[in-house]
Amino acid sequence: MSNWPQDLDRYLRTDPRDAGCDTAMELLDVYAELTAADPAAARLRYPEVAAHLRSCGPCEQDLDGLLAAIRVDADIADS
Amino acid sequence: MTVESPAERAGEGARAPDAESAEWVRALSASGAGRDDAAARLHAALLRVARAELARRSGQLRISGPELDDLAHQATADAIVAIIAKAGQFRGESRFTTWAYRFVILEVSAKLGRHFWRQPHVPMDTADWDQLPDRLGLDPARESEWRDLAQALRRAVEQELTEHQRRIFTALVVDGVPLDALVVRLGTSRGAIYKTMFDARRKLRASLVANGYLDEIPERH
């Protein structure tokens, strides 16, 4: 948050579409596969999950981990 | 008008599982050597993912070596129990392996949340606001630019939030406790803490806007 006050402003903003952690975690595999194929399509199909991931560090971290695992599998399949 | 939930939308996208996914479900739901073989292959895949995930996060962790690998094994063991128990619930909305990896990634997060409290001198309920500028990386040389807003934020936390919201906000933002660690300490869920923070953030922003510290968000059209 060193870019104060912009970072604080961004941190405090809430999106009414935000799906929350429970829904995001439930759909993480579906959202991750869609993101791996087409990030814009994932955001369009699940705007509530996208809004949540923009604000929730732990869920975003989990998504990044799942994407990394998917990419490793894709690399193995391609090799 | 009925508003479709994200989960319902995902259900609409469900298709018959691909052949490989169907085979995973069949093998894990069977009995005998076939199931043991599938469980062993799944264990190996999940352990690889858990290790990679812990390595990916290692820059933020104070764990390394055998302790880190032990966490990978614990996360894998717990994930595989859950996956085998729930294999029949797999709906084919993603590949089976992606669905399974989700379990182990979430287990890694939960294990790290628990591990956080094993470190010595972990802060909790200290509410040391003097540490906040340093923790947030605010430049002391530019204190005149952030001091008023920091004080207004603290006032808003003290005056606008409920006791529960204040405790959560202070732990996460002021004391720097990771959310998954707070889940363990309070015996609650990530979603419950996030919802508390969501409401707290909205209140704090409204207060800072009302007092002229932040701008209002333009209405969406």
For residue B182, is it within any domain? yes
Say whether both B64 and B143 belong to one domain: no
For residue B215, is it within any domain? no
pLDDT at B1: 52
pLDDT at B2: 62
The number of angstroms, rounded, from the C-alpha of B125 to the middle of its chain's C-alpha atoms is: 21
Say whether both B15 and B91 belong to one domain: yes
For residue B173, is it within any domain? yes
Of A58, A64, A70, the CB nearest to B180: A58
Pick among B91, B94, B104, B174 to test the A interface (most A CBs inside 10 A)? B94
Nearest CA-CA distance, residue B105 and chain A, Å: 6
Say whether both B79 and B157 belong to one domain: no
- Are B205 and A14 a contacting pair at CB < 8 A? yes
Helix (H) or strand (E) holding A12: helix A6-12
For residue B175, is it within any domain? yes
For residue B189, is it within any domain? yes
The parent domain of residue B136 ranges over 129-210
- Are A69 and B7 a contacting pair at CB < 8 A? no
Say whether both B196 and B168 belong to one domain: yes
Say whether both B71 and B35 belong to one domain: yes
- Are B138 and A30 a contacting pair at CB < 8 A? no
- Which residue of chain B has the CA closest to A20? B191
CATH code of the domain covering residue B138: 1.10.10.10
- Which residue of chain A has the CA closest to B104? A66
Q: Which residues of B touch A8 (CB under 8 A)?
A: 149, 153, 214
pLDDT in tens, A8-67: 899 999 999 999 999 999 999 999 999 999 999 999 999 999 999 999 999 999 999 999
Say whether both B94 and B190 belong to one domain: no
Q: Which of B66, B93, B116 is the last residue of a domain?
A: B116
For residue B220, is it within any domain? no
For residue B64, is it within any domain? yes
Say whether both B41 and B105 belong to one domain: yes
Pick among B18, B93, B102 to test the A interface (most A CBs inside 10 A)? B102
Per-residue pLDDT of chain B (221 residues; tens, 9 = 90+): 567 888 888 877 667 789 999 999 999 998 888 889 999 999 999 999 999 999 999 888 788 889 899 999 999 999 999 999 999 899 999 999 999 999 999 999 999 999 999 887 666 666 778 888 877 777 888 888 788 989 999 999 999 999 999 999 999 999 889 999 999 999 999 999 999 999 999 999 999 999 999 988 765 54
Farthest CA pair distance, chain B: 71
Nearest CA-CA distance, residue B186 and chain A, Å: 17
- DSSP assignment of chain B equals -PPPPHHHHHHHT--PPPHHHHHHHHHHHS-SHHHHHHHHHHHHHHHHHHHHHHHHHGGG-S--HHHHHHHHHHHHHHHHHHHHHHGGG--SSS-HHHHHHHHHHHHHHHHHHHHHTTSTT---S---GGGHHHHTT--GGGHHHHHHHHHHHHHHHHHHS-HHHHHHHIIIIIS---HHHHHHHHT--HHHHHHHHHHHHHHHHHHHHHTTSSPPPPPP-
Say whether both B44 and B141 belong to one domain: no
CATH code of the domain covering residue B52: 1.10.1740
- Are B6 and A23 a contacting pair at CB < 8 A? yes
- Which residue of chain B has the CA closest to A43? B6
Q: How many structural domains is chain B composed of?
A: 2
Cβ-based contacts under 8 A for chains A and B: 126
pLDDT at B220: 57
For residue B32, is it within any domain? yes
Backbone angles phi, psi at A9, to 5 degrees: -55, -45
Say whether both B97 and B181 belong to one domain: no
